[in-house]
């Protein structure tokens, strides 16, 4: 009956409910799911068969791992993948792919554990407001591209602004392609010069400027490119109000020579009005078959570099056109998908307010983080067992040791579950916070045991001795939270993760696990 009374106590019930909720939040997966592909080289034999996001379960008869991806193979290689079993012949070469270990839980691990890229960029003549604008723009670019595990941190040194970017699971090539473009988008339509004039919007305008000079007419900016043509600025990045990503407005198709892709964008009314004026007097030509187009294309420029020429359908002549399509092509599927995602991310994020320079870029191997994580788990378990052994030697009560181990392990589970619920990333600092929280938890449990067992020599009841222990525990918890609060508010880099996990651990202890442990001790000593 006593054991039934123990499990009907609200402190024990709350403790067990929170443990179950934490396990559900973590959602551990005990089977090895293999490797998730993050990028594929153009020369890889897997190109056009697998794409980033596909999984490799086995390489030959071995479970797939990041170390096996770096190995050189000769002869036939058998891959068990999410798209079936594949066979390839290799001649002392790697598979030409990079990947990360498939997630085994809902825990979000940081760059130093999962592996990835760390870069430091220097904006040109940046102010504090400009730095925040750059961070917002780069976050949008990276998220649209698909590299969502990213962290941005502004750094000021000797009056200069720097931005540290960390991407878990990415590659140097992917990050460089997103960073090297300022993202200044412009679209021009050429107009032919006849007798020193251009014709648009049913008007004729004199062209008297030199080559490479600009002029304005009827609210439109023109630039003279040579003796025969000027180019009219029809769209800028500010005119792009939306970049469509859904299948109805975005496509990717195989062709005879490779792959074609495209996506539509929503243009502002001002941009549509410029398109109407500029195309009003452009002649129509006949294309392949019965299709008709305007004689002049629309040219797309990114950071001043021509990226695409698109034909304009004759039906759009002089029309308010708000949903033009950006199209392109590539020889391989991966190249096409990557280029499409890159353009979508840059157009959707907008242009950076200033030019940037990549000062440093490092690649962190996921093997180091995995090794550290395993070492930390073994070290933590060894510490708990060592403390339990010392407690057993001191009190000579084996039945007190087992609850101490269970409560300490439950604190780790609850802290990790809380990190999933609040969306916090587990990095080295966070692991240090978990260790610190469990350490304070063990201290508190020893206080409870010491007051409960050794306090018998004094004329106090068991409940009074537990009250004394909890008074000291709450005082120590308040001191710890007070010490961590400035780190949490001011956000001193990685110390913020340490502060958050430590505070979660301390609050978990004083509100959930310490009362439960106190009730268990009370039950065992009754």
DSSP labels, 412-452 = HHHHHHHHHHHT-EE-HHHHHHHHHHHHHHHHHHHHHHHHH
Q: pTM above 0.85?
A: no
Task: Give the Cα separation of 55 and 34 in Å (integer).
Answer: 7
CATH of domain 185-349: 3.30.1360
Task: Give the Cα separation of 154 and 169 in Å (integer).
Answer: 21
Task: Give the Cα separation of 117 and 173 in Å (integer).
Answer: 10
End-to-end CA distance of the chain: 13
Pinpoint the residues of the chain covered by CATH 3.30.70.3400: 116-182+356-364
Pinpoint the residues of the chain covered by CATH 1.20.1640.10: 2-28+366-525
Q: In terms of residues, how long is the chain?
A: 526
CATH of domain 35-101: 2.30.42.10
Q: Which CATH class is domain 116-182+356-364?
A: alpha beta
Please, what's the largest Cα pairwise distance for the chain? 113
Question: Measured on CA atoms in the order 232, 238, 239, 240, is the torsion positive or negative?
Answer: positive
Strand partners, 328: 261
Pinpoint the residues of the chain covered by CATH 2.30.42.10: 35-101
- The CATH fold assigned to 2-28+366-525 is Multidrug efflux transporter AcrB transmembrane fold (1.20.1640)
Pinpoint the residues of the chain covered by CATH 3.30.1360: 185-349
> What does the pLDDT profile of the chain (526 residues) look like in tens digits?
467 777 788 888 899 999 999 999 988 876 656 787 777 776 677 776 777 778 888 888 888 877 787 788 888 888 888 888 888 888 888 888 777 777 778 887 777 777 778 888 888 887 887 888 778 777 766 765 555 567 788 888 877 888 888 776 566 776 776 676 666 788 899 999 998 889 888 888 888 888 889 999 888 999 999 989 999 999 888 888 888 877 888 888 888 878 888 888 888 899 999 999 999 999 888 755 566 888 888 888 877 778 778 788 888 888 888 888 777 777 877 778 777 877 777 777 666 777 778 888 877 766 666 677 777 778 777 877 787 788 778 777 777 788 888 888 888 899 889 888 887 777 777 887 888 777 777 777 777 777 776 655 555 555 665 666 666 667 666 777 777 777 666 655 556 777 788 888 888 888 888 888 888 887 877 6
Q: Are 137 and 349 in contact (CB under 8 A)?
A: yes
> Three-state DSSP class for 467?
helix
> Three-state DSSP class for 246?
coil
Strand partners, 294: 284
**Cα 482–chain centre separation:** 31
């Amino acid at each position: 009956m006593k054991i039934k009374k123990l499990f009907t106590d609200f402190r024990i019930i709350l403790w067990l409910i929170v443990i179950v909720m934490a396990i559900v939040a973590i959602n551990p997966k005990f089977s090895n799911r293999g490797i998730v592909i993050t990028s594929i080289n153009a020369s890889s034999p897997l190109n056009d068969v697998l794409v980033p996001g596909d999984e490799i379960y086995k390489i030959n008869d071995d479970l797939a791992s990041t170390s096996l991806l770096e190995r050189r193979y000769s002869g036939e290689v058998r891959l068990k993948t999410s798209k079936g079993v594949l066979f390839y012949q290799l001649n002392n070469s790697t598979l030409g792919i990079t990947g990360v270990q498939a997630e085994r839980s809902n825990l979000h691990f940081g760059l130093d554990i999962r592996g990835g890229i760390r870069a430091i960029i220097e904006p040109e003549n940046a102010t504090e407001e400009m730095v925040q604008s750059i961070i917002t723009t780069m976050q949008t670019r990276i998220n649209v591209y698909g590299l969502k595990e990213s962290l941005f941190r502004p750094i000021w040194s000797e009056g200069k602004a720097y931005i540290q970017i960390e991407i878990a699971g990415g590659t140097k090539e992917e990050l460089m392609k997103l960073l090297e473009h300022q993202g200044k988008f412009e679209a021009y339509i050429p107009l032919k010069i006849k007798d020193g004039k251009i014709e648009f919007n049913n008007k004729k305008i004199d062209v008297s400027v030199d080559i490479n000079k600009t002029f304005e007419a009827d609210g439109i900016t023109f630039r003279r490119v040579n003796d025969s043509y000027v180019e009219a600025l029809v769209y800028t990045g500010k005119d792009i109000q939306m970049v469509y990503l859904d299948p109805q407005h975005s496509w990717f198709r195989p062709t005879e020579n490779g792959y074609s892709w495209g996506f539509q964008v929503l243009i502002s009314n001002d941009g549509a009005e410029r398109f109407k004026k500029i195309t009003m007097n452009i002649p129509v030509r006949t294309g392949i078959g019965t299709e008709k187009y305007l004689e002049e294309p629309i040219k797309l420029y990114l950071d001043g570099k021509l990226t695409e020429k698109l034909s304009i359908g004759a039906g759009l002549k002089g029309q308010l056109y708000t949903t033009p399509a950006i199209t392109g092509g590539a020889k391989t599927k991966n190249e096409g998908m990557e280029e499409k995602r890159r353009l979508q991310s840059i157009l959707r994020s907008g242009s950076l307010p200033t030019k940037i320079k990549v000062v440093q870029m490092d690649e962190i191997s996921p093997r180091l983080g995995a090794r550290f994580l395993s070492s930390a788990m073994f070290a933590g378990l060894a510490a708990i067992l060592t403390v339990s052994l010392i407690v057993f030697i001191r009190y000579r009560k084996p039945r007190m040791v087992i609850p101490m181990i269970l409560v300490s392990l439950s604190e780790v589970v609850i802290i990790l579950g809380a990190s999933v619920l609040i969306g916090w990333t587990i990095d080295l600092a966070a692991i240090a916070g978990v260790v610190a929280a469990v350490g304070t938890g063990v201290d508190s449990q020893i206080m409870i045991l010491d007051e409960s067992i050794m306090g018998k020599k004094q004329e106090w009841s068991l409940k009074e001795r537990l009250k004394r222990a909890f008074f000291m525990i709450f005082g120590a918890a308040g001191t710890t939270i007070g010490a961590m609060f400035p780190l949490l508010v001011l956000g001193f880099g990685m110390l913020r993760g340490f502060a958050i996990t430590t505070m979660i651990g301390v609050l978990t202890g004083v509100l959930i696990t310490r009362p439960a442990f106190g009730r268990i001790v009370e039950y065992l000593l009754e």
